[in-house]
């Protein structure tokens, strides 16, 4: 049965001055908002991750007040996991709350996979973040607080996490546009605020289940630590901040090590073995971690990372290296570079797509082909006035001549002479104008269709 909470139990002491306390919490969030607004582009919209629990209800109440003052667009998002028999009641509670405040609410229904490789908590969290990050908004605002940070730190510690894991949650995640304005606020302060404003919220019955690791830490581990070390929550928070700074330094070092050997963004697609060879073991591992993260890969275990680095550095140049790093991806080596490749990547045979003027097209194998009008490069637009641009993969027998000073060659021969890995050759899109091959991304434009310096062409980027 869902539990609807109003004022807290008697063991929570109200502050001596309600007005002072409520102003301090509102002032804390307002100051954080103004600081963020000043250091980044002006924030015009926010989405609150609303579970219906006390933390997110308080956060919504705080941002609702700021919205009236700073006039940004505010909405809420609720994720229905279906893990509790009361999940539908939580949806209704959130709908009622948001209707009362005139705040738009998105309800997202998700289903956990049968095979829960991350555990129930991990899979639910991942699906929740996926839905939240799909929201079109300047900021996704989360209600994590100081006690949550301590719990996350201890969870990561039990799992043997390194610097990045122990740095726990960031106040502002620039890459994902996540903001946690209550991260320096204690659970007791949030409870006091809810009591002062007579807010209502729901209580998830699973929050009391100590079979879940986080709940075990919350109800069994932290009370013992608090009893012995009264300031343990703030001490852990401080340690997390120190580790976050250390992680920023490690990331900066990885960027330096990568850019000293590679051009621009090449490391996002592949990593030269020579980059790792010239570094100390620790710096090489740091680069490898950073590169995997850039490619949105989950961090492998220490043993797997050590084995990956050992094989990459000791394998012969012509060795066929394949190391699985997750269910979906593996590391492959070709010549002097390693690549992150979908584990079961299949060649897409006999596909054909028509370009209708859109800025990008997603190919059948998941790659993105981008189109851009530029001066002096690409396919001359005059050829597209009466004919359609067609995209298809190689089917054999095609010829190509991108250089007037070189002979026409078969595509198969050109690919064999190139540095393109074998698994990418069959899926390379060919660009046709009518029935004639006009361009190959990363290889050039056929001389017949090339754009002169004073003309406008269509550039294709894979």
Q: Residue 117's pLDDT is what?
A: 58
Q: What is the mean pLDDT of each run of 10 residues along the chain (462 residues)?
A: 46 43 80 89 91 96 95 94 83 96 92 65 79 89 95 93 91 91 94 95 85 92 96 94 95 88 60 90 94 87 91 82 86 88 68 88 83 90 88 82 82 81 82 88 88 90 84
Question: Residues near 147 by Cβ (< 8 Å), separated by ≥ 6?
Answer: 186, 187, 218, 222, 233
CB-facing half-sphere around the CA of 310: CA atoms within 13 A: 6
Q: Residue 116's pLDDT is what?
A: 52
Q: Which residue's entry shows tokens 């980027």?
A: 461
* CATH code at 271-342: 3.30.465
First to last CA, the chain: 53
Query: The domain 3-244 is classified under which CATH number: 3.40.800.20, 3.40.50.620, 1.10.287.610, 3.20.20.80?
Result: 3.40.50.620
Of the candidates 360, 364, 342, 344, which has an alpha carbon nearest to the alpha carbon of residue 352? 364
Q: Residue 404's pLDDT is what?
A: 79
Q: Residue 345's pLDDT is what?
A: 60
Q: Residue 4's pLDDT is what?
A: 57
Q: Residue 15's pLDDT is what?
A: 43
Axis-axis angle for helices 187-196, 54-70 (nearest 10): 70
| Domain-wise residue ranges, the chain | 3-244, 271-342, 352-461
Q: Residue 16's pLDDT is what?
A: 44
Collapsing DSSP to helix, strand or coil, 114 comes out as coil
Question: Residues near 44 by Cβ (< 8 Å), separated by ≥ 6?
Answer: 72, 73, 138
Evaluate whether 3-244 and 271-342 have a shared fold: no
Structure pTM? 0.75
Collapsing DSSP to helix, strand or coil, 425 comes out as helix
Q: Residue 307's pLDDT is what?
A: 92
């Amino acid at each position: 049965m869902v539990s609807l909470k109003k004022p807290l139990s008697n063991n929570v002491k109200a502050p001596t001055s309600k007005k002072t306390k409520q102003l301090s919490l509102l002032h804390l969030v307002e100051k954080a908002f103004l600081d963020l607004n000043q250091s980044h582009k002006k924030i015009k919209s926010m989405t609150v991750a609303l579970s219906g629990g006390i933390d997110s209800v308080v956060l919504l109440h705080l941002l609702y007040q700021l919205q009236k003052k700073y006039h940004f667009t505010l909405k809420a998002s609720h994720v229905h996991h279906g893990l509790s028999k009361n999940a539908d009641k939580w949806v209704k509670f959130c709908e009622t709350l948001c209707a009362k405040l005139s705040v738009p609410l998105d309800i997202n229904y998700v289903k956990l996979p049968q095979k829960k490789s991350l555990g129930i908590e991990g899979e639910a969290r991942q699906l929740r973040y996926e839905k939240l990050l799909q929201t079109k908004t300047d900021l996704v605002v989360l209600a994590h607080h100081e006690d949550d940070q301590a719990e996350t730190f201890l969870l990561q510690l039990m799992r043997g996490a390194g610097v990045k894991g122990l740095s726990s949650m960031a106040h502002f995640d620039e890459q994902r546009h996540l903001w946690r304005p209550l991260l320096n606020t204690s659970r007791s302060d949030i409870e006091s605020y809810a009591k002062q404003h007579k807010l209502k919220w729901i209580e998830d019955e699973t929050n009391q289940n100590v079979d879940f690791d986080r709940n075990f830490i919350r109800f069994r581990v932290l009370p013992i630590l608090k009893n012995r070390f009264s300031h343990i929550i703030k001490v852990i928070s401080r340690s997390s901040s120190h580790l976050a700074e250390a992680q920023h330094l490690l990331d900066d070092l990885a960027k330096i090590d990568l850019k000293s050997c590679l051009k621009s963004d090449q490391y996002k697609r592949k990593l030269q073995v020579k980059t790792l060879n010239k570094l100390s073991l620790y710096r090489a591992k740091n680069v490898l971690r950073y590169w995997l993260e850039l490619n949105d890969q989950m961090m492998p275990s220490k043993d797997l990372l050590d084995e990956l680095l050992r094989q990459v550095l000791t394998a012969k140049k012509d060795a066929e290296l394949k190391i699985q790093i997750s269910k979906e991806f593996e590391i492959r080596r070709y010549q002097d570079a390693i690549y992150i490749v979908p584990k079961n990547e299949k060649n897409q045979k006999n596909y054909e797509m028509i370009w209708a003027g859109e800025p990008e097209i997603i190919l059948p194998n998941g790659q993105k082909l981008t189109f851009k009008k530029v001066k002096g490069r690409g396919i001359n637009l005059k050829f597209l006035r009466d004919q359609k641009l067609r995209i298809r993969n190689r089917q054999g027998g095609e010829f190509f001549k991108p250089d007037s000073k070189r002979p026409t060659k078969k595509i198969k021969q050109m690919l064999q002479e190139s540095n393109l890995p074998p698994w990418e050759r069959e899926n390379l899109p060919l660009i046709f104008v009518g029935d004639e091959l006009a361009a190959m991304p990363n290889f050039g434009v056929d001389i017949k269709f090339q754009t002169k310096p004073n003309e406008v062409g269509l550039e294709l980027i894979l």
